[in-house]
Amino acid sequence: MAIYFVRHGESEANEQNRFAGRQNTPLTDLGVRQAHQAGAAVVALGIRFDEVHTSTLDRARRTASVVTSHLQEEPATRVETHALDERDFGVFTAANKSLVKKAVGFRGYTECFHSTTGTPPGGESWEDLRERVRRYYVEVLLPASREGKQVLVVTHKYVVEMFAVVLADLHDYRDMKIPNARPLSEEDLRRIAAAPAVAAKINDLGEHVEIRLPALLAGACVLGAFLQLVLRSPLPAAVLSTAITTLLMCSTFFGMLRLQPWTLRVTTGLGRLVAGTVLKSAAGAALLFTTDSVPLLLLGLALLVPPATLAPVLALLWGGDFHASVRHTLAASLVTPVVLLLVAATQRDPLPRGLVAASAVVLLCAVTLPTLVAQRLRHRDPITAGRLTTNWNWLGSAALIPLAGLTGYALTPSGSLPAELIPFGLAEVALVVAAFALPRVLVGVLETRRHLYVTQGTPNVFLWLTVGAPLVARAGVLVKLLPALTAGVFFAALVLDEHIFVRMFRRQLTTAR
């Protein structure tokens, strides 16, 4: 008779991009709703389960309880066993997945987690996991099925994938990206295991994007600038704005699929956020009030603009609190226009009012609309939302790569560089460096939490340069290279930040070993 396998619903560790392993981590609200949807799917199959087998970990047990609550008859037999517990990840347990990948590299990560000869340091080897799962299938599940019993197995990602390996009699292994809470039959697992090689290549591409994102962004920006110098053809404004908005919408959509809406009401860290925003806004407003210098006005704008929309993505990649980063980014995006309106009320220069309008457009098109779509999907089809996050979340990061290329292309002066642009002044270089260094210094005085460092130290450079364009246009030719330099420093700062965070993480791993 039938055996169905279900990976538990989304856990807090899944949501926060951490390896849970054999640690207990509760289901999120989405995870509970995924379990209810899985129960409805099981009912639709018309199967009366005689036995339910789960691991001993809370997230699997809770999922099984929710799923079976939808059945007309509770299974007569319930089995909780360590044989179905998640793989032991050793020193990587509770670690940020992206930092692990960046610290050990693609080959090291593949060897530890997806190689038939691999073992996470201090963890369970592939062979031991396979043998554990094979024995349970052969000695427990298969005999029950042959006796005519319908069996439901609720367990974990790596265990479900190993059942697929056993059922398909594979002698190699790849990351199958098993989604949370989707009921899978034995035939489904065989089909997943036999997926064409292109599926593995797509998974690998996603891993490479995740591991190398800041470097890819910086490289795309440089390539875009180079193409502008070669082609000498500026993009039409409508084309550029449409492309940028579309790419930002894509990035925001995948990022907001992770968002628990209620976390936006959490007030933890609000004081630090307000203090950091006030300090930055006060410094930026002071510059707008007290100077006519174009470089200093641009620095003031850099301090006034909200965090970049990619800040939550960076926080997730670098081990920060994703939800806190979202809260800080959205809060600063809402507070900044208010500050600018106050500045605009006392100035004749329309620049602050232009920034308010641009902020509103970005909030609506690049943040609000994709967030609403993502949240609607989470509500109506939580399993699909989880599957997109598990399998395709890297597309949100990948969308930023052409965005960086467009930025480099659009901000580089078209045509050959005049001679006066080559000896770029030290003052302008210092200005650009200060625009990124000053927020980091202000945050360092208040707090060293990573998500705050990322949000307050990563200004929305696209918005800044869009609004500052009129200033650059009326400035001397030397300043016209400032936007391209700013973009270069922006992406170089991301590479430097990641290098620092990864080095810190490697030291933690060395200590743990």
3-class state of residue 53 by DSSP: strand
Side by side, the strands of the sheet bearing 184-185 are: 77-80, 51-54, 151-155, 3-7, 184-185
Across 330-367, b (16+ Cβ under 10 Å) vs e yields bbbbebbbebbeebbeeeeeebbbbbbebbeebbebbb
Q: Give the residue from 511, 499, 508, 509 showing the smallest Cα distance to 102.
A: 499
Evaluate whether 159 touches 136 at the Cβ level (below 8 Å).
Answer: no
What are the DSSP calls for 192-214, one per residue? Answer: HHT--HHHHHHHHHHHHHHHHHH
Q: Rounded to an integer, what distance in angstroms lies between the CA atom of residue 254 and that of residue 69?
A: 31
Strands (E), 57-133: 77-80
Here the tokens at position 9 are 């619903």
Task: DSSP for 21-49, please give it.
Answer: TTS---B-HHHHHHHHHHHHHHHHHT---
Q: Tell me how crowded residue 275 is: count the other CB atoms within 10 A of its CB.
A: 15
Distance of CA 199 to the CA centre of its chain: 21
Under DSSP, is residue 381 helix (H, G, I), strand (E, B) or coil?
A: coil
458 touches 333 (CB < 8 A): no
Q: Are 336 and 305 in contact (CB under 8 A)?
A: yes
**Catalytic pick from 8, 36, 53, 451?**
8
Alpha carbon 33 to chain centroid distance? 22
CA dist., res. 317 & res. 336, Å (int): 26
> Is the distance from CB of 495 to CB of 317 less than 8 angstroms?
no
Judge residue 190's burial from the number of C-beta atoms within 10 Å of its C-beta, 0-12 exposed, 13-18 middle, 19 or more buried: middle
Cβ contact 50:77 at 8 Å: yes
Q: Is 328 a catalytic residue?
A: no
Buried b (16+ CB within 10 A) or exposed e, 234-270: eeeeeebeeebbebbbbbbbbbbbbbbeebeeeeebe
Active site residue 86: yes
Looking from the CA of 508 toward its CB, the CA atoms found within 13 Å total: 17
Q: Which of 10, 15, 51, 86 is catalytic?
A: 86
Contacts of residue 22, Cβ cutoff 8 Å, sequence gap at least 6 = 57, 85, 86, 88, 93
Longest distance between any two alpha carbons in the chain, whole Å? 85
Would strands 184-185 and 3-7 be described as parallel, antiparallel, or unpaired?
Answer: antiparallel
Show the CA angle centred on residue 72, arms to residues 67 and 78, nearest 5°.
Answer: 55
Indicate which residues carry an active-site annotation.
8, 86
